[in-house]
Amino acid sequence: MSALSTAGPEAPEEPPLPLAIAFDNSYARLPARFYERVRPEPAPDPRLLVLNTTLADELGLDAGVLASPEGIAMLSGAEVPAGAEPLALAYAGHQFGQFVPALGDGRAVLLGEVIDRDGRRRDIQLKGSGRTAFSRRGDGKAVIGPVLREYLVSEAMSAFGIPTTRSLAAVATGETVHRDRPLPGAVLTRVAASHVRVGTFQYFAHRSDADGIRRLADYVIDRLYPEVAGAANPYAALLEAVALRQARLIAQWLAVGFIHGVMNTDNMAISGETIDYGPCAFMDAYEPGMVLSSIDRHGRYAYGRQPQIAQWNLARFGECLLPLLSEDRDAAVALAVERLSGFASAFEAAYFGRFLEKIGIADERPGDRDLVTNLLTAMQTGQADFTLAFRRLADCALADADAAPFLALFETPAGIETWLPAWQARIADDSRPPAEAAAAMRAINPAIIPRNHRVEAALDAIVENGDGSAYMRLLEAVTRPFEERPEDADLTAPPRPEERVAATFCGT
C-alpha cells in the first residue's frame, strides 16, 4: 500500500511508462439497454490518497504507472484510458423491502474489464466519478470518508478470506461535495468479479423482457458459473449455484461479526462477493439483534437476520428466472422452490462448519453444535466481545491454561464457567493435539478487525485535520488480521463506553 497523503504526486525522476491496460469489455458487448454509455466527470485537482500495489500486481498493472499523473488522472475519472468503454449499469432492486424499478449506477462508472494474472476476468469501476443517466437528483459524487471506509473494510474482508469486491485506489478530487456539510470529494476504484446483481435481473423482469433475462443469465453462466452450462436445465442449476455461494458468504460474515447494513437486492452480487460497503459495521459485544446502520430503522438487516434476508433476496432472483426455467409457470415455480430449498441446509452446514473451526474442533461429532450455540448464548448473556472471546479462547485449549483473560470478557459467569471445562475436555479428545487446535484457531479468528470506533476516529482525523497516520496504521493492521503484534495491542481493544459507535452512515 502506498502512504496516504493529501499532497499532490511528486514529479518522477524519469518519465513513467505509458499507461497501457489490456481491456476486454464483455459487458459492453451486451445490448445497449443493459447500460448507458457515460464519461466520468473530470476531477479538478486529483491527488492519490492510497494505492493497493498488491492488487495492482494481481491485475497485471504497473503500480508505478498508476501512481503517476497519468495514472491518477485515470483513477479519478479525469482521463479515460485507451480501450476503456465507460458504462453505467442498469438495475432495479428492493430497497428495505420496497421495489424500485429503475436504480442503476447513479455514481459509478464501469471503466472496463481486465484478465488478471490468474486468468480471472475482473471489473474496474470508479465510484464517485459524477452524474450518470441513473443519478436522478443526486450529484454522482462521493466524499472522502465513505471512500476510505470502503477501501479499508473491503481489504480487511479480503484478508479474512471472505469473498469481496476489492479496492485498488482512493483519489481525492480536489472539489467540495455538499452533504450535511461541505466535505472533500473522492473517487474509489473498485475491482470485482462482476457487478451483476439480483437487481440487474429484476430490471429486466419488471419490464417483461424475457430476452434480456436470458441474455443476462447466459452472460453470468459464461462468466461466473461455467460449470452449470452443461446441466439439463442450466438456469435452474444457476439458481442453485448462486444460492449455495450466498449461503457460504453469509456464514462467513457471521463468523467475523460483520453486519452489512443494507442487504437490498441491488446490493447482492450474483458472483457471491460482498459488495457495497455503506453503513457496514462489526459487532463488539455479541448481540444477534445488533443494528448499527442509521437507515435501518426497523432492524430488517440486523446481524442475526442476514441469513433470512439472503434467502428472501434469492427468492426474488428465482422469480426473475421463472420464464427460463419452464414454459409452464407452475412447473417453473416448483423448480425454483426446489432449487432454493437447499439454502437453509447449506447455510447451516457452512455456519456450524465455520464456528466449529473457530472453537478448534476438527472432526464434528454429535453435540458439538451445542457447544457453539451454548458459547454464543453465554457470550450474549455476559456481553462478551465477539472478536476477543474467540481469540482468547485459543489460549485456553490446554487444560492447565490460564483462563482468566478469557473469562474476564464476560460481565457475568452464567453459563461460561461450566462451558469452558466441557469444551476443554472435547478439545482434548479431538483428532489433533490441543496445541494444534489452538494454532488453527488463531489462524481463523482475527486478532484485529476494523472496529467502528477506530475507523471513525481515523476518518475524522483525515477529514478534520488532514492527518492520515491513524488510517494507514489501521489499514496495515487489518490487512494482517491474524498476526498479534504488541505494538497494535490498542487496536484489538473494544471501545470504552464513551467510544462506542451508536450508528453508522452510508455517506451517499
Catalytic residues: 266
Under DSSP, the state recorded for 12 is: P
Give dist(CA 375, CA 430) in Å, integer: 18
Please name the residues in contact with 358: beta carbons below 8 A apart, sequence gap of 6 or more: 255, 390, 441, 444, 445
Residue 257 vs residues 124, 342, 447: alpha-carbon distances, Å: 28, 24, 13
Residue 97 vs residues 89, 112, 301, 310, 413: alpha-carbon distances, Å: 22, 31, 11, 12, 40
258 in Cβ contact with 149 (< 8 Å): no
Q: Say which residue the cell 501512481 belongs to.
A: 67
Give dist(CA 500, CA 259) in Å, integer: 16
Residue 236 vs residues 218, 245, 272, 320: alpha-carbon distances, Å: 12, 15, 17, 12
- Tell which residue, 151, 173, 129, 170, has the closest CA to residue 40: 129
Cell numbers at residue 383, please? 456481553
DSSP helix/strand/coil, 286: coil
145 in Cβ contact with 117 (< 8 Å): no
DSSP helix/strand/coil, 299: coil
Give dist(CA 105, CA 89) in Å, integer: 5
φ, ψ of residue 127 in degrees (nearest 5): -110, 125
436 in Cβ contact with 461 (< 8 Å): no
Give dist(CA 72, CA 87) in Å, integer: 20
Residue 171 vs residues 4, 160, 369, 456, 468: alpha-carbon distances, Å: 10, 25, 46, 19, 13
Q: Does an H or E element contain 228, and which?
A: none
- Tell me the CB-side half-sphere exposure of residue 399, using CA atoms within 13 A: 8
- Tell which residue, 175, 176, 179, 171, has the closest CA to residue 151: 171
35 in Cβ contact with 88 (< 8 Å): yes
Q: Give CA torsion, residues 153, 158, 164, 167, to 10 deg.
A: 60
Q: Does an H or E element contain 375, and which?
A: helix 368-382
Give dist(CA 70, CA 78) in Å, integer: 9
Give dist(CA 327, CA 360) in Å, integer: 49
Under DSSP, the state recorded for 45 is: S
